[in-house]
Structure 1
């Protein structure tokens, strides 16, 4: 694979910088888990700032809100797992070539006040969510998501409205990774559980009405964070990170060498049971995309973990002794090709960089895509965080180094007005800068991410490194 590179920050010189520190490097951090230090250190309060400074020029067609979710425990809180920290939303309002405001707000849920997910009588409180994984808009509602619970609706100004259950029709938790069909506007999602029924599939129409639900037969008690959606099928990941009541990190799932790893393919209309394909033992948190190729095979792409990389990453997520210096190790771009004729799966590693939070132009959700945008983590030849653009047609990749003490967040593709090519548009990403104790919202050209940013919006505070976000246009 050929590369084009760009250096940012303080120049092209590569060093470990502040990103590579572990949580034991300083006296202040010695007794804190890594997800409460450095780029991930929580902020103690909520602020609002107006008329933000912009370097460069915000494209006038960008009129809307960029929202990003992440875990931000309140002062004095010390969750046992990265994923258990209270959810906090960060938002930037763009319009008329200006950055009108920034604000951050906790999602005000029962969990924020310390309520447990499991009640004393053993039942699950689906409203006791940290709501800290993702934020989306569908049918006019903005939803903060966490996969173990109901979604929480918030206002365009990030005030919490409350738990949302699709007018009583959603009776399970909801994934943090629903997929919107770019043609129909339908929202496809699921809920999974450690107890039967393990998996339930839902569809909401473009107006937000829940129109279909079905238990997915054959699924097991696996940690199913994401799924795939093609033009005609859903893709279910039944992989070997499974429920284990003896796992006491607060997220009761653990790698199992005895669990048979499979990927299931089921018609989107629920007219047939899934066909399960046996695959090599591996875990995947996020599906980059899934689609049907010209031969009718199902192609699934995303970062894959083997057992060693999963367990090492889990140590960081729980703050266990011997954890690595960064939150992800060993997750590499991977492709599975599932052949309905032979009933077999072929798989291959696509690259050697450690990557996560991969995204595409969402107009290609469920269809073959050419470009993937992702965050690269220190390791496998990189000493600092970077942003990467992959070209599936040419095999080239563009790599942009974040700079010393800086970390990119998940890149989000926003189409340009009048654009025709797949990469005609912009990437939005939040950057954490430890040396300056500050953050910026960068707007990059998706066509060439090595070029200087189109615009850099200076935020009034450092935004802790988070998880997922969305661009919510006004129209």
Structure 2
């Protein structure tokens, strides 16, 4: 029997939890890298074959750096009820604690939170053990997106909960201490899949594409492409009364999983960018995610960066594909989140014809230049996380951290790249090949000072 693609190659799950100390370092780790890189992945337990890649249980991988040393690596399953087989749907409705918790991991208010968009977040200790579901003191009664946004100016956490059933979209704000201060149902939202969103200094930007709730889909992820579902962008002023003033703008058909950033330009227009797929691109990715026969390519083969410019005064949206390289997992210097940025980063993939390869990409949005750090044959980098250098003065004055899966060596490394030139600064050799995953965060020690766990 052919194994599903998300259980093979770079995506083959780890079968156990380990801890290793005193990792080998090539090069010199910058001393300001004192903290933890924590990355999440879908990693079903041995003997479990989920019907969809997204249904695999979450496993977090952590690498502890301090004072130029790589002190430890550890991996831990996120111990949710779903890990032991608890169903999401019950006779009483959805169980928001029955989470894979396998999409992202963040820090906010001193808590480490493992995220999956259909459920409550799960709190972890700084050693990656599971504390339990976190509902913000009972104030979070919806699911939580896996892509919350931290305002770099205020420390507020902006996030939403989406549902295929009304209310389809609920927006939340938590203050820097982790207390929810505002929640609002968003009028006009539909059952379209809303995986990510964006915030600017003055607005919240929601994206609805052609992928929407489909009760006939039996993979465990009940969504599919629909030409009848309108693709739209919703723009809402920030603040307690913002939901009353949301406006929806039609856009070209497509589906965007991840926003790179959004901001107001000098003319007051909202600029939004992110990789998108068309109908065929979604079909190719979905076939891989569910392991359908004749899957052909892996995900992201037709994922190209698109830019939307929304003129709120004229009520018009201009959009265009701005690059022909297949990419996903866009990142940036988070100090520029919601503001106009010059640089953004991504991971490149082979296109639908198998052309191109894996690499870490840097875009200069001012000059239009594109750089690629090629990682080598049979090596897949993960999402590149930006960390500012000590005393940074420029937007790209810092480092990119990416975990690379190496099939030929059956190994993995943490690469530390210079964000300015994409040159390799250091390599940390990990004790096992790390399953190719999704999202993660650099969490400096200062963020966990005085934390609860």
TM range (shorter): over 0.9
The residue matched to 2:98 in structure 1 has which SS? coil
Match of 2:301 in 1: 329
Match of 2:287 in 1: 315
Tell me the distance in 1 between the aligned counterparts of 2:296 and 2:319.
28
The residue matched to 1:329 in structure 2 has which SS? coil
Does 2:398 align with 1:421? no
Tell me the distance in 1 between the aligned counterparts of 2:376 and 2:413.
13
For residues 161-217 of structure 1, give each alpha carbon's deviation from its aligned partner in whole angstroms, at most 9, with x where no partner exists: 000000000000000000000000000000000100000000000111000000000
Check the 8 A contact 1:415/1:424 in 2, yes or no.
yes
Name stretches of at least 5 consecutive residues in structure 2 with no aligned partner.
Answer: 447-453
The residue matched to 2:335 in structure 1 has which SS? helix
Match of 1:14 in 2: none
For residues 28-52 of structure 1, give each alpha carbon's deviation from its aligned partner in whole angstroms, at most 9, with x where no partner exists: xx52110000000001000000000
Check the 8 A contact 1:217/1:273 in 2, yes or no.
no
Tell me the distance in 2 between the aligned counterparts of 1:68 and 1:268.
30
The residue matched to 1:54 in structure 2 has which SS? strand
Match of 2:170 in 1: 200
Match of 1:471 in 2: 442
Tell me the distance in 2 between the aligned counterparts of 1:370 and 1:232.
19
Tell me the distance in 2 between the aligned counterparts of 1:273 and 1:152.
33
Match of 1:303 in 2: 275
Check the 8 A contact 1:313/1:324 in 2, yes or no.
no
For residues 241-262 of structure 1, give each alpha carbon's deviation from its aligned partner in whole angstroms, at most 9, with x where no partner exists: 1101001111001111111111
Structure 1 residue 329, shift from structure 2 partner: 1.6
Match of 2:450 in 1: none
Does 2:211 align with 1:241? yes
Match of 1:213 among 160, 183, 187: 183
Task: Calculate the TM-score normalised by the size of structure 1.
Answer: 0.92
Tell me the distance in 2 between the aligned counterparts of 1:355 and 1:44.
29
Match of 1:135 among 95, 105, 126: 105
Check the 8 A contact 1:134/1:468 in 2, yes or no.
yes
Match of 1:173 among 132, 143, 148: 143
Does 2:404 align with 1:434? no
Match of 2:449 in 1: none
Match of 2:325 among 353, 368, 371: 353
Tell me the distance in 1 between the aligned counterparts of 2:379 and 2:182.
44
Tell me the distance in 2 between the aligned counterparts of 1:57 and 1:273.
52
The aligned runs of 1:76-475 (5 Å cut-off) are 76-119=47-90, 121=91, 123-271=93-241, 272-379=244-351, 382-449=355-422, 451=423, 453-475=424-446
Q: Which stretch has the larger CA shift, 69-78 or 272-281?
A: 272-281
Structure 1 residue 122, shift from structure 2 partner: 5.1
Tell me the distance in 2 between the aligned counterparts of 1:201 and 1:166.
14
Match of 2:16 in 1: 45
Check the 8 A contact 1:143/1:153 in 2, yes or no.
yes
Match of 2:7 among 13, 36, 45: 36
Tell me the distance in 2 between the aligned counterparts of 1:63 and 1:369.
26
For residues 72-111 of structure 1, give each alpha carbon's deviation from its aligned partner in whole angstroms, at most 9, with x where no partner exists: 0000000010100000000000001100000000000000
Check the 8 A contact 1:426/1:443 in 2, yes or no.
yes
Higher relative CO (Cα under 8 Å, sequence separation at least 6) belongs to 1
Q: Which stretch has the larger CA shift, 52-61 or 318-327?
A: 318-327
Structure 1 residue 399, shift from structure 2 partner: 1.1
Tell me the distance in 2 between the aligned counterparts of 1:443 and 1:327.
25
